[in-house]
Amino acid sequence: MNLKNSISTTKEYLWGAFRQINTPVALDKKSKGIITQLVNEFQDRARSDIKKWRQALSAFEDVDNPKSAPLQDLIRNLMTDGHLMSQIDIRNAATLCSRFYIRDKNGEEIEERTKLLETEWFYDLMEHLLDSVYRGYSVLELTDPATMKWDLIPRRNVIPSTNMVLFEAGGDKGIDFTEPIFARTIIHRYHKDRHGILNDIIPQLIWKRNAQQTWADFSERFGIPLVSAETSITDERELKRIESMMRQLGRAAQAVLPEGAKITIHDAATKGDPHKVFLEQITITNNEISKRVVGGTMLSDDGSSLSQSEVHERTLDDKISESDKRMIEFTVTGQLIPLLRTWGFPFQDGDEFVFDRSEELTLKELWEIVNGVLTHYDVEEEWISRRFNVPIIGKKQTINNTGLNASAALSTNFR
């Protein structure tokens, strides 16, 4: 191989590290994507504090040399909070459990194309896109077109302000993932706040963790009351006997001590009402988390009334999750569908991905509507049978009841 061909092969192998490659190329077995070129590195799991958070913000917002790793490592470390993750799951479910479909340019639902997205990989992809709300951004790479396997490029390596993916999270060399060469393999979504909404509650998460740790230390130190014995006895044998009885006191709750020995139980666990101090701080923090993520506190916690909890539920379903759904619709319609067409998926110009926003009715409410329609219009029997799960074998014969009283007409119907 001559020098010219060697240089050309090297440029193609690096996938965009050199700006000379400006045209998309098809993936093949020898091609390497972005994720395979990233260096696996240590992720910071050390204890979080406010100073560390401010330093991470400064690194992320640095104009000359921004770095995402400190902030993303901090967020990932704090996402072990059980209450936070439950609120995220509730908010995600409001979108992921909603029906969606593909409609053509005429607004008609296309069932065949909708089924192409009713797959595990697509739901996983939607969940990654929803995570961009919490953590600021998501960049996904198609790593296996045969199975449509999408992998999340580690956020600690992504610099959203420059659209770069760094080979090393703390390094300076990387790839611009918006280059045309990645048009068939990369989709991304930036939240309007590149920090993500979890950045707003990082202080609360840190304070909550500190409160729980302090409470645990307090319980370990003062949970079992200190027991002391006072005596004027100086005999070493009797002192050892008293010490032995004191050691057994915790288990047996009884002791036989010599005359003159006095036992004192020092109960410090209730001094200053520590239960109220720690629990109220944790409760207030949980409320702040719930309000920021799902817009209220009564979706997972006890509330004062059913009506208030329904208001909180409507806030999530009608407002917050509606914003998440629009974000998914814009990304799938604007980025994913054009990308899938390049891989042979039979989508057409003008196809749109939308969530079904029709109002859910109970069967009783729907039957009342259908019954009213039947008085003026004919309704397809197959639809009625399928919708109400009623086997219809044909139309009932109409009997002219003119001249018959009500009871006679009723008798006629059951002959």
Kindly state the tokens that stand for 366.
Answer: 């729907």
pLDDT digits (tens, 9 = 90+) for 206-265: 999 999 888 888 877 777 666 777 777 777 887 787 777 777 765 555 555 666 666 666
Lowest mean pLDDT, pick from 274-288, 328-342, 401-415: 401-415
Question: 224 versus 405: which is more confidently predicted?
Answer: 224
pTM: 0.72
pLDDT at 5: 47
Average pLDDT, the chain: 81
Size of the chain in residues: 415
Q: Which of 148, 120, 161 is CA-nearest to residue 340?
A: 148
Residue with tokens 């639902």: 109
Weakest mean pLDDT among 179-193, 247-261, 291-305: 247-261
Residue 201 has pLDDT above 90, yes or no: yes
Q: Which of 98-102, 243-247, 310-314 has the lowest mean pLDDT?
A: 310-314
227 SS3 class: strand
* Mean pLDDT (whole number) for 89-101: 92
DSSP structure string for 164-188: EEESSTTSS-EEETTSGGGTTTEEE
Tell me the average pLDDT across 297-322.
64
34-48, 88-102, 212-226, 362-376, range with greatest mean pLDDT = 88-102
The confidence band for 60, taking pLDDT boundaries of 50, 70 and 90, is very high
Mean pLDDT over residues 297-325, rounded? Answer: 67
**C-alpha distances out from residue 370 to 362, 388, 392, Å:** 12, 11, 15
Please determine, for residue 373, whether its predicted confidence score (pLDDT) is greater than 50. yes
Which range is most confident: 43-47, 174-178, 382-386? 174-178
Position 14 confidence tier, pLDDT thresholds 50, 70, 90: very low
Asked if residue 101 lies in contact with residue 127, where contact means CB atoms within 8 angstroms, the answer is no
Residue 315 has pLDDT above 90, yes or no: no
CB-CB contact of 136 with 190 (8 Å): yes
- Give the C-alpha separation, 360 to 365, whole Å: 10
Residue 271 contacts residue 226 (beta carbons within 8 Å): no
Query: Residue 231: what pLDDT?
Result: 76
Nearest-5° Cα angle at 77, 73 to 78: 120
**Cβ contact 133:199 at 8 Å:** no
**CA dihedral (35, 41, 47, 53) positive or negative:** negative
